[in-house]
Chains A and B, each alone.
Chain A
């Protein structure tokens, strides 16, 4: 059991979201996309320039900036 920031998750390894500490608006937006505590996320793509990375969330691929997912923690 290891708790990591979303931006630090190894590629292609599913992890369970444990906390989302972003500001309200971003949290709301992520919720609409199906990112809640307890959901599974997988980092699937990395931009050629290092960031953003894209995550598999609720069956869709969503790109997020590292700065935006710093406050999201997931459990490996």
Chain B
């Protein structure tokens, strides 16, 4: 039988390793990356079983199909409207009773299904023994035990998918009865009594308990969290240095080859300037400055995520967020924002309450993303953290900046929570899953492929046209000065008043498509020849900046503006999509910009007074 492509949906509670199964089934053949540590959209990919192609859909993790939250509604709608050929209900073998309630609920909607008892190795270590044959008899669908570490179990799952899809089941014979979650719970308890045996040995839970007593304790919980972030930044800052220089040297070499090529082709000067000095140079800056820190930060962050540590951050900090009228899970969306604000904004879907979610969306931009980190790192390194142990100082200052950013986020959240109407409270409910050893290799490959390439690709898309526009502005003259000089001249009085100058203000405005282009813009505007000078190191950058009147004050104000200005175009589009409101999108641009200008004005005034 050919022609028909079967559709297989993966459903399950959050934190049951559904995405691991999805990854194992689809390998590299997937259309969407999973960003937020939790699938919020339906992810898609293809798997090949017995030579046939199967479309695999990863549904968002849900505790039920009651459509109270965005994820649950998405999962329910998918199952009802798309009628997949097979639903793989993924369950956590450790928490079968609760998970089984969900399975029964799914089974009331569709009968072409199989149950996958995931994390079965962990359950065995925990002394949980499940009779899968008995379970299959009781619930009437095939059951297979799987675990991420046992490859054989995956083959069994594939066989099962094949079988269920090919079976000629008569159309839905299940009637969706009025669903009583309490009865359902009792039923799943009865089933569990018949097929689960437990011994007292619960290694995994005990290990998690021991770790939690350290990682969430009054004494050590918050210091360890700060140290982890410090280490993360230090590794990113130090590790990025060398590959960054190497890349920029490489691009530089290539640039001269390109010049030669253009000469041979007899290209007009205008074209050479636009393409090489404009597009290529900006592109190579963005890649060489951004790629190394991202390629280090994202995998490390994924490791933290996969280990199960992130929900503990929300647990540790919720009380602070509660006092600011916000939701503890906002700390997670803030952490995602460190990677990329657009992703942080999308991630806000994990927050159930509408108002809490809006607060998290509107304030996410106060967390400097990976596009802005290089600016901060460069400024810190050349102005404040020279000499021996420079990288340690840089990391410490970065941690300090993140703390200040978090404080700002909380203050703004508090203000917003006072202004925005209080809605029906859905409460703060946060599951703390057991700690799991992350799969090192897979995590690294995946976060580089999914995240790094994704963000870099987007930056590159923005940088190429930006490079062309900048070059044109810098090389087109109206009267006797260039367009760029007209613009920077226009903004100069305003810039000076808040401790910056016209060039910096212009760079932030022209950098709207991607913050990564802000520093190249500044350098291009300062160099009189209208060509982005080859950047070989921080010392040269310091030279250019101080020649143009930069002081410590300029650097501080520049860092403030880096953190506090309108989000990049991609983030703005994401906010528009997530909130569905132009007004909120404008507000999300206005708030940080106003805060940034006010802070810079105050800092500049204070600095000049003393």
Partners in one complex: yes
* Complex contacts, B209 vs chain A, CB 8 Å: 44
Compute how far the CA of A60 lies from the CA of B316 in the bound complex, rounded to whole angstroms. 18
Q: Is B431 an interface residue (CB 8 A)?
A: yes
On whether the beta carbons of A47 and B315 are closer than 8 Å, the reply is yes
* Complex contacts, B212 vs chain A, CB 8 Å: 45, 61
On whether the beta carbons of B316 and A59 are closer than 8 Å, the reply is no
Q: Is A29 an interface residue (CB 8 A)?
A: yes
On whether the beta carbons of B428 and A31 are closer than 8 Å, the reply is no
Distance in Å: Cβ of B10 to nearest Cβ of chain A: 19
Q: Which of B64, B66, B318 contacts A63 (CB 8 A)?
A: B318
On whether the beta carbons of B95 and A60 are closer than 8 Å, the reply is yes
On whether the beta carbons of A45 and B426 are closer than 8 Å, the reply is no
On whether the beta carbons of A60 and B431 are closer than 8 Å, the reply is yes
On whether the beta carbons of B98 and A33 are closer than 8 Å, the reply is yes
Q: Is B427 an interface residue (CB 8 A)?
A: yes
State the interface size on chain A (CB cutoff 8 A).
Answer: 32
Q: Is B185 an interface residue (CB 8 A)?
A: yes
On whether the beta carbons of A65 and B318 are closer than 8 Å, the reply is yes
Q: Is A51 an interface residue (CB 8 A)?
A: yes
Tell me the residues in window 298-348 of chain B with beta carbons closer than 8 Å to chain A beta carbons.
311, 314-320, 322, 328
Tell me the residues in window 39-64 of chain A with beta carbons closer than 8 Å to chain B beta carbons.
44-52, 54, 58-64
* Complex contacts, A28 vs chain B, CB 8 Å: 66, 68, 181
Most chain-A CB neighbours within 10 Å: which of B181, B212, B424, B429?
B429
Compute how far the CA of A32 lies from the CA of B97 in the bound complex, rounded to whole angstroms. 11
Provided the pairs A47-B216, A48-B316 are in contact, do residues A64 and B98 lie with their beta carbons within 8 angstroms? no
Compute how far the CA of A25 lies from the CA of B317 in the bound complex, rounded to whole angstroms. 24
On whether the beta carbons of A58 and B97 are closer than 8 Å, the reply is yes
Compute how far the CA of A61 lies from the CA of B429 in the bound complex, rounded to whole angstroms. 10
Compute how far the CA of A66 lies from the CA of B334 in the bound complex, rounded to whole angstroms. 24
Distance in Å: Cβ of A75 to nearest Cβ of chain B: 19
* Complex contacts, A48 vs chain B, CB 8 Å: 216-219, 221-222, 316
Distance in Å: Cβ of B208 to nearest Cβ of chain A: 8
On whether the beta carbons of B315 and A29 are closer than 8 Å, the reply is no
On whether the beta carbons of B428 and A47 are closer than 8 Å, the reply is no
On whether the beta carbons of B428 and A63 are closer than 8 Å, the reply is yes
Q: Which of A45, A51, A52, A61 contacts B431 (CB 8 A)?
A: A61
Provided the pairs A23-B425, A48-B218, A65-B427 are in contact, do residues A32 and B181 lie with their beta carbons within 8 angstroms? yes
Provided the pairs A25-B68, A52-B315 are in contact, do residues A62 and B432 lie with their beta carbons within 8 angstroms? yes
Compute how far the CA of A45 lies from the CA of B432 in the bound complex, rounded to whole angstroms. 10
Compute how far the CA of A28 lies from the CA of B426 in the bound complex, rounded to whole angstroms. 10
Q: Is B19 an interface residue (CB 8 A)?
A: no
Distance in Å: Cβ of B423 to nearest Cβ of chain A: 10
Distance in Å: Cβ of B417 to nearest Cβ of chain A: 15
* Complex contacts, A51 vs chain B, CB 8 Å: 318-319, 322
Q: Is A76 an interface residue (CB 8 A)?
A: no
On whether the beta carbons of B425 and A62 are closer than 8 Å, the reply is no
Q: Is A30 an interface residue (CB 8 A)?
A: yes
Provided the pairs A47-B315, A59-B94, A61-B431 are in contact, do residues A29 and B68 lie with their beta carbons within 8 angstroms? yes
On whether the beta carbons of B320 and A49 are closer than 8 Å, the reply is yes
Chain B's closest residue to A31 (CB) is B181
On whether the beta carbons of B181 and A52 are closer than 8 Å, the reply is no
Q: Is B101 an interface residue (CB 8 A)?
A: yes
Chain B's closest residue to A29 (CB) is B429
Compute how far the CA of A26 lies from the CA of B63 in the bound complex, rounded to whole angstroms. 13
Compute how far the CA of A67 lies from the CA of B424 in the bound complex, rounded to whole angstroms. 14
Chain A's closest residue to B434 (CB) is A61
* Complex contacts, B101 vs chain A, CB 8 Å: 32, 34
Q: Is B182 an interface residue (CB 8 A)?
A: yes
On whether the beta carbons of A59 and B97 are closer than 8 Å, the reply is yes
On whether the beta carbons of A62 and B316 are closer than 8 Å, the reply is no
Distance in Å: Cβ of A65 to nearest Cβ of chain B: 5
Would you list 21 pairs from A and B whose C-beta atoms are within 8 A, ordered by A residue?
A25-B424, A26-B427, A29-B63, A32-B63, A32-B102, A32-B181, A33-B429, A36-B185, A45-B315, A48-B219, A49-B320, A51-B319, A52-B428, A52-B430, A60-B95, A60-B431, A61-B432, A63-B311, A63-B328, A63-B429, A63-B431
On A, residues with C-beta under 8 Å from B are 22-23, 25-26, 28-34, 36, 44-52, 54, 58-65, 67-68
Given contacts A36-B182, A60-B98, 17 further A-B contacts (CB under 8 A): A26-B426, A28-B68, A29-B427, A32-B98, A32-B101, A34-B97, A45-B213, A48-B222, A51-B322, A58-B95, A60-B95, A61-B212, A63-B314, A63-B315, A63-B429, A68-B425, A68-B427
